[in-house]
Amino acid sequence: MRSRAKSVAVWIVPLVVLAAALALIASDFGNLASGSRGMQCEIYQSVQAHAPANSALAARVAPQGASRCPAQAPEPVFSTTLELVFLAVAGLGLVALFAWSTVLWAAAFAIVAIVVAQSLSWLLFTRAHVLVDAASPNAALAAMFLSGLSARAIAIARMRAALKGTVFHRVPVGAINEIVHSPGLLKLDGERRVVTCMACGIRGGAALAESFAQDPSGFTRLIDRTMAPLIEEAVRLGAMIGPFDAEFFTAYWNAPLDDPEHAVHACETATRITTILANVNERLSHERRADGAAFEALEMGIGIATGPAITGGLTARGGASYSVTGECTGLARRIRALSAQYGPAVVVSEATREAASGAYAFLEVDFLAPAPGEQPVKLYAVLGNPLVRASPKFRALATFHDHIFHALRTQQWERTRELVAQCRKLSGASQKMYDLHLARIAWYEANPPGPDWDGAFRQPVM
């Protein structure tokens, strides 16, 4: 509220002062024009009275619209107070629209105010024979609008300059334009909102960097060719990019601006990223490293989680950034680290699956506590769009997975093995994931989880 009040004060003070000065200066010109109009009518009436037969002379001195001159010329009524009252009311409305709305609404208001003022002035003259100058306040109001337009342009330019070089250069252009034209949309003081976080990273990044120990510039070029298009695609699909390095980046949806379909957009970005990475690997397969060795295909791990987070601005050493902090951000990173053991590249939390279930096909792959002391969560692999979800192959696979995890949670070890053996033959089955669960069954048989077990896997404490 303090920043909004300051913003309004910045608009009101210069515009009202300018309008008052213009109105006082322009009133003399308006009075002169109105006085001239009244003088013309008096001359015309005098000619008609003293030289009625000389119609040619009367026609030459008749002012434009002389037929509308009343028989008794009105006494000109000049009210600077009335002009200033109109200008104050219209000016404050214009200032309010500039401060809280858009330039288009301010322009429409200014046009309507000018038309209404001119119409009322004409009605007073024709019906009440009262001459009221509307030109002066209208000119001042037009000057106010032009001044406000210039001030808005300067404010936009300053905000763009302020955002440049901060985290906001990694925000979609559309979002930046919304923030620039409506700064109130950006709440830097901190707020709680539900966001979807995507953690994306190259699997085995440390080992990959070590393999380029003798060619660090080659590693930098490889990462740039790989990560840059992935980040650009995330931004194109509405993400705000968080901190990133050579092998890992995070992206957020529904922050800083509202995105009702944030979970769907995150899943869409993840599937697009896998396609882009496949194209990158295809190009790399036709190239050689500096030492003559072939490039190994890069694998990407993607974890997505949805949940409440605290968002807001942070400043340090004269710079500004925007932070998103919550359990979902940490969960997305841990899911990304775990994704390699399931096979599919994109793994999401249950909250993400629920939010995007109408747009994507999900398959349960695990139920575990991501870290010691954390509540267990169900994890799902993203397998495709609604067409995939409607296919008989996917429905058969999903049914088998439901039976597998039910048998696993109820400690039916042999039944689980039989179902896994049957499911391995289905299209789309992940052999890597089944190997993981069979290894866990062997561990459970040696270390029974107990009758009150909730079915979630917890990493044994060594």
Closest CA to 116 of 131, 97, 136, 134: 134
| Element holding 379 (H helix, E strand) | strand 377-384
What per-residue confidence (pLDDT) applies to 173?
59
Indicate the pLDDT class of residue 76, thresholds 50, 70 and 90.
low
Kindly state the average pLDDT of the residues 388-406.
91
pLDDT greater at residue 320 or residue 414: 414
**Contact of 198 with 304, CB cutoff 8 Å:** yes
**Using one digit for the tens of pLDDT, what is the confidence trace for 228-259?**
899 989 988 889 888 777 788 999 999 888 89
Our measurement of the distance from residue 35's CA atom to the centroid of its chain's CA atoms, rounded to an integer in Å, reads: 56
143-169 confidence digits (pLDDT tens): 888 887 887 777 767 666 665 555 555
Q: What's residue 172's pLDDT? A: 62
Check pLDDT > 70 for residue 6.
no
pLDDT of residue 68: 47
Whether residue 184 is predicted with pLDDT greater than 90 in this model: the reply is no
DSSP helix/strand/coil, 360: coil
Q: Which of the listed ranges 33-47, 60-74, 168-182, 183-197 does the model predict with the highest average pLDDT?
A: 183-197
Six-digit token pair at 165?
A: 């070089």
pLDDT at 90: 81
Query: Which class is 189-356 in CATH?
Result: alpha beta
> How much is the pLDDT for 44?
43
d(CA 66, CA 46): 13
d(CA 161, CA 155): 10
For the CA atoms of 62, 68, 71, 72, the dihedral, rounded to the nearest 10 degrees, stands at -100
Burial 94-117 (b: 16+ CB within 10 A, else e): bbbbbbeeebeebeebbeebbeeb
Instruction: Answer whether residue 58 shows pLDDT above 50.
Output: no
pLDDT at residue 37 in the model = 47
Residue 168's pLDDT is 53
Q: For the whole model, what pTM was predicted?
A: 0.68
Query: Among candidates 360, 205, 389, which has minimal Cα distance to 270?
Result: 360
pLDDT in tens, 289-318: 888 889 989 999 999 999 999 988 766 655
Residues in the chain: 462
Averaged confidence pLDDT in the chain:
78
Looking at residue 66, its pLDDT comes to 45
Domain with CATH 3.30.70.1230 in the chain: 189-356
Give mean pLDDT, residues 315-341: 83
Q: Averaged over 27-44, what is the pLDDT? A: 46
What is the distance between the alpha carbons of residues 80 and 34, in angstroms, rounded to a whole number? Answer: 13
Q: What is the pLDDT of residue 269?
A: 95
Residues 395 and 361: their CA atoms lie apart, in Å, by 10
Which of 101-105, 231-235, 269-273 is modeled with the greatest confidence?
Answer: 269-273
Q: Angle at Cα 58 formed by Cα 56 and Cα 62, nearest 5°?
A: 125
The pLDDT, as a whole number, for residue 63 is 45
Q: How much of the chain, in percent, has pLDDT values that exceed 70?
A: 71
Give the pLDDT mean for 88-100.
79
